[in-house]
Amino acid sequence: MRFIINQDKYSANIFWKLCNYLILIDTINGFFLLKGVPLPIGQAYKFFLMLFLAYQLVKTRRGQILVTLTICYFLIYINHVNLNNNSNYLSECIILFSKFVIVPWIYVYLIQVKNESSPFTFWNNCINCFRLNITFLCANIFSGLFGIGGHTYEDRIGYKGFLYAVNEVSGFAAVLFSLFLYYIYISHQNSKKVYYLYSVLFLITALLFGTKTMLIIILVSVYYIPHIISPSNKEKRKKNKFTKLIILVLSIVVVIYGGIFIVNEMGFLDRWTYFYQQGGIERVIFSGRDEYWLNAKKEFFSSTLYTQLLGLGKNQTVEMDQFDILLNFGYVGIVIIYSFYFKLIIQAYQCKNKYNISKLIFFVDTLLLGVSCIAGHILFSGLLGPFLGIINSLFNMPNYVVHKKSTLKHKQ
């Protein structure tokens, strides 16, 4: 029995080590690609993570069912792709499929780990994982100020450092920043200066990266997170209102001054003006994605019913997730994928009165699901997926664990 417990603890340590360096691995991958050396380091790393998860999942009844269902659907889907003479897209379809699968796999695995370990240890591992990845993310983006790395857009707009998965940054930044701001807020109840500092840091990071999606998500998160923690008396509620006012003022100042910098120095005004002239405010919001869908849907709806059920299987993207799911995985994919995410949202909503962190999870999941409908690269993100699985596994983390000050100093 002792051997089994030690083995489970050892496997959990391996998992956290793998997740701690996800963004660093993406950075190394991006560095070599920028130098013209296409090494599949990121894909190999995530493939190893998937193998590790599969091995751990089959040790439990629930995990065995999940892996079996995944394999069955995968075989049916691959056969469908081959029958449609789309075998040229097979490797791309497998990668796309794995980006969704990793979320429920990590979620189910971590529920098992959480039930068999100390809640303090589990919480501390989550925070450490998010802290490290935030460090790598911010280091990449701020390095652009010193001329290191590349730009977010080809016309030298925005800074990305050596990040390879640029389209996915807004989504995983939202999850990373939201949970860490929540942790900072509850860890410094007597002084909110640290929360203000991190809020400003994350807003500046979003401005430097230069996407509308990331900036809007971070703005909403920074202002909304104090609403999640409920003060216990009138005096604290008054202080909380004052905190929210300061956060709002700081956000406005950062966005205004940062906005001036972006417009004048980074060329965003020309980019947005171009989109507005092409199709008005709708074109500014969707950046032409709505037109991609209008072109792609003709092929989908003119195909056979069987093809519509399982998708075209061509790794097509219009950068709006609901349409990407429909095009690639059909009606069956829509039902499976959205059933899973609605399950997570409903679960968080039902637990929000008992477990405070479920309020954060409900907020993050709802926000991301909404953003995925207009921006894409959320539900099919190789980097966001692991963090989404991690944060949702916290839905029933006890309040006495989450709200304990300086939890990282707790003896494990």
**pLDDT of residue 240 exceeding 60:** no
- Residue 292: name the closest of 311, 316, 273, 308 by CA: 316
**pLDDT of residue 78 exceeding 60:** yes
How many distinct structural domains can be found in the chain? 1
pLDDT greater at residue 211 or residue 50: 50
**Residue 6 burial (C-beta neighbours within 10 Å; 0-12, 13-18, 19+):** exposed
Cα–Cα distance for residue pair 164/137, rounded to 1 Å: 11
**pLDDT of residue 355 exceeding 90:** yes
**pLDDT of residue 168 exceeding 70:** yes
**pLDDT of residue 272 exceeding 60:** no
Cα–Cα distance for residue pair 22/42, rounded to 1 Å: 8
- Residue range 89-112: average pLDDT? 91
Q: What is the pLDDT of residue 271?
A: 53
**Cα pseudo-dihedral 250, 251, 255, 261, rounded to 10:** 40
The pTM score is 0.85
Q: What is the pLDDT of residue 286?
A: 46
Pair 198, 180: CB distance under 8 Å: yes
Residue 158 region, left (φ>0) first, then alpha (ψ -120 to 50), else beta?
Answer: left
**pLDDT of residue 223 exceeding 70:** yes
Instruction: State the first-to-last Cα distance of the chain, in angstroms, to the nearest integer.
Output: 20
Mean pLDDT of the chain: 81
Cβ-proximal residues to 210 (8 Å cutoff; 6+ apart), any chain? 152, 153, 157, 158, 159, 262, 266, 268
Tokens of 100: 């969704």
Instruction: Summarize pLDDT for 4-47 with one digit per residue, the tens.
Output: 444 455 689 999 999 999 999 999 988 888 888 877 888 899 99
Pair 52, 63: CB distance under 8 Å: no
Per-residue pLDDT band at 349 (split at 50, 70, 90): very high
pLDDT greater at residue 84 or residue 279: 84
Q: What is the pLDDT of residue 284?
A: 43
Q: What is the pLDDT of residue 216?
A: 82
Q: Give the domain range for residue 398.
A: 2-409
Q: What is the 3-state secondary structure (H, E, C) of the chain?
A: CHHHHHHHHHHHHHHHHHHHCHHHHHHHHHHHHHCCCCCCHHHHHHHHHHHHHHHHHCCCHHHHHHHHHHHHHHHHHHHHHHHCCCHHHHHHHHHHHHHHHHHHHHHHHHHHHHHCCCHHHHHHHHHHHHHHHHHHHHHHHHHHHHCCCEEEECCCEEEEECCCCHHHHHHHHHHHHHHHHHHHHHHCCCCCHHHHHHHHHHHHHHHHHCCHHHHHHHHHHHHHHHHHCCCCCHHHHHHHHHHHHHHHHHHHHHHHHHHHHHHHHHCHHHHHHHHHHHHHHHHHHHCCHHHHHHHHHHHHHCCCHHHHHHCCCCCCCCCCHHHHHHHHHHHHHHHHHHHHHHHHHHHHHHHCCCCCHHHHHHHHHHHHHHHHCCCCCCCCCCCHHHHHHHHHCCCCCCHHHHCCCCHHHCCC
Least confident of 12-26, 73-87, 153-167, 212-226: 153-167
**pLDDT of residue 180 exceeding 70:** yes
pLDDT greater at residue 406 or residue 219: 219
